[in-house]
Amino acid sequence: MSVFALTGNVMFFSLTSSSKILHAIFLVIALAIMVIITLIYALHAVLLIWNGIIVWRRESHSLANLLTLIIGVFLLIYPLLSFLFFRKIIPKPYNLMIEHFTEMGAFYMISIFLIFSLSVWICNFYRPKPDKDFIIILGAGLLNGNEVSPLLASRIDRAIDFYQTQINSGQKHPLIICSGGQGGDERIPEGVAMRDYVLQKNINPDDVVAEDKSVNTIQNFAFSKKIVDRYRLDPNNGIFVSNNYHIYRASDYAKSAGMKISGIGSKTSGFFLPNAIIREFIAILMKHKIANLLVILLFIVISIVGKL
């Protein structure tokens, strides 16, 4: 049952109540609920559109960077589309089936998004001991084909901070693995640009190595694992560094590559974070697409059976 249907029931109860006081109380409650929900809904839509415009102005003009803008516009026009689609175009009982399916699907998506967001937040509380054998820095796109971007620099600086903390505590020098291949619009591999950036920070060259063949996060860990093995390091005694929104999903890839390690996150610009979180969420959905498709099929069956 949708929130507005629930509110409608409250209003109906208030209208049928024999007590004028109860009638007034329930009517006020119903109206307050509707106003609050409408304002929250509209605020979310406006904020998403505003964020999408900022991302479009400051970042590359790609479909991935339009996610918050697209979702915000959809949320604004959805009530009108829903009214026209469910009440004017689709005949009964099919409109009720589709409406029921939409409500269940929305509840499911919101629920797992909240769980995902909580998991992403919890992952960033990890504080590793300064006794690691290696630090893997996950690459990101270069500026002008050969320059470390601010986003990538934040990852590298986070890794260097941990490296220095470990050395200053009297522990061994960890191996810094700069992992990233060469994209089609890049003149040098990301791993090479990252290594050069690290060396400019007066880090011992013997403690830095570039992995320059990977093209995605899965390969970042798979190829870095080969370097870890070549140096005869403990594959389970290391950490990786990425942006804070990426730690949750990247941890799973690390384990798939045979390294039971966790990550530490660098800060992400506030304007970019909503878009990044949504992209990560979509990636998680696609990774578990079979399970999600089964849930969708279950909702379809329930919607059909429930309205026959």
pLDDT tens readout for residues 108-146: 998 999 999 999 999 889 999 999 999 999 998 888 888
Q: Are strands 208-211 and 238-243 parallel, antiparallel or unpaired?
A: unpaired
Q: Specify whether the CB–CB gap between 90 and 131 falls below 8 A.
A: no
Architecture of the domain delimited by 134-268: 3-Layer(aba) Sandwich (3.40)
Amino acid at residue number 296 = I
- % of the chain surpassing 70 pLDDT: 91
pTM of the model: 0.78
Cβ neighbors of 296 (< 8 A, separation 6 or more) are 105
> Mean pLDDT across the stretch 206-231?
96
For the chain, where do the domains classified as CATH 3.40.50.620 start and end?
Answer: 134-268
